[in-house]
Amino acid sequence: MPRPELLRRYAALTYALTRAAARGDGLAEPRVLRSEARAVLDALGVRLAAGRDPLSAPRGAGRGPGTLIVANHISWLDVVALLAVEPATVLAKREVGRWPLIGTLARRVGTRFIDRDARPRELPYTVAALAELLRDGTSVLVFPQATTWCTAAGGRFRRAAFQAAADAGAPVRPVTVEYRQGGLPSTAAAFLGDEDFTASLRRVAGARDLTVRITAHALLGGTDRRALAAAAQRATRSAAVPGPRPVAAHRAGGAPDGRGHARGADRAAERRVGQPPPYEGQLTGEADGGLVGEDEVRHGVTSGKESGAVVSR
């Protein structure tokens, strides 16, 4: 990209972020938050492709639980794009609160920070807090892969957040986030491994014709977190177009990830799944992954950046 155009984008981004910060607590107002998120995308030259309908399920007369919105995770830009579709409050790792300017903006919109290094036995308290938000009618957007991946097809959905939906009797909305350039899948926005935020931002700002596409799938419902997680993952993968073979994302064992393909469309527009197995004592590991799995607690996340969750008003 020509240097003058890149500098223009940086200037537009600086203006958008400064204006957002100047709004103070008013930034949390849904209409304002949506507008400012879209302004950031515009400043970076990123086109948003999404439907007009909200991600949350309708609540009759303002009653009933909120929606657990679950999305695949590729980039820090995912959050901006999702905020541009439906205003939200972010539940993020504590480190985000220390990021220059971003941390300030996150606090302004009421972000709830969690300790990603907490012991696995503390996970039930996080699940209980998410369930309470859902019961109160708040929609919660979670990245159940717990880290970023090159493409929408990468990474297993961990199940703890789905337990919160089951406990609250909340519907689940799977959402696919994809990036494209010139109509083809792109990894330009992928935020992986040891890359720092500045390098990722530079690549996104310099990308030509970058589009983020948000695809909402049919609602799911049920009480079995394993079945809900599997159904949601199938749904998000069903919309994903196979992208270029990822070279940056690998598990500890050395095999490349993010290369899985869709395993078929939803079996039905609305699904009900069965009773849950016992939850206590089954919080981590391959049998029952949590918000942070046992493999990541022992070895550290090797596939990408740790994620948080987003809580929609």
Q: What is the pLDDT along the chain (313 residues), one digit of tens a residue?
A: 899 999 999 999 999 999 999 999 999 898 999 999 999 999 999 999 998 888 998 887 778 998 898 999 899 899 899 989 997 666 677 788 887 788 888 888 877 677 766 677 778 888 898 899 889 988 887 888 866 655 556 678 888 889 999 999 999 999 999 999 998 999 999 988 788 888 999 999 999 999 999 999 999 999 999 999 999 999 998 876 655 544 333 333 333 333 333 333 333 333 334 333 333 222 333 333 333 333 332 223 334 565 555 444 4
In a domain, residue 19? The reply is: no
In a domain, residue 208? The reply is: yes
Instruction: Quickly count: other Cβ atoms within 10 Å of residue 210's Cβ.
Output: 22
In a domain, residue 18? The reply is: no
pLDDT of residue 241: 61
Pick from 159, 139, 133, 137: nearest CA to 233: 159
In a domain, residue 3? The reply is: no
| 3-state SS, residue 213 | strand
pLDDT of residue 209: 96
Q: Are 16 and 43 within 8 A, CB to CB?
A: yes
pLDDT of residue 20: 94
pLDDT of residue 279: 30
Its pTM stands at: 0.75
Domain that holds residue 80: 46-312
> CA 176, 178, 183, 184: dihedral to nearest 10 degrees?
-120
Whole-number Cα distances in Å, 133 to 33, 225, 260: 20, 18, 33
Written as one string, the DSSP assignment of 152-198 is TT-SPPPSHHHHHHHHHT--EEEEEEEEEETTEE--TT---TT--HH
Rg for the chain, CA atoms, rounded: 18
pLDDT of residue 233: 93
Domain count, the chain: 1
In a domain, residue 231? The reply is: yes
Q: Are 308 and 92 within 8 A, CB to CB?
A: yes
* Cα–Cα distance, 186 to 113 (Å, whole number): 30
* Tokens standing for residue 223: 């009480």
In a domain, residue 239? The reply is: yes
Q: Are 106 and 92 within 8 A, CB to CB?
A: yes
pLDDT of residue 41: 97
In a domain, residue 158? The reply is: yes
Pick from 156, 157, 94, 160: nearest CA to 127: 160
pLDDT of residue 154: 64
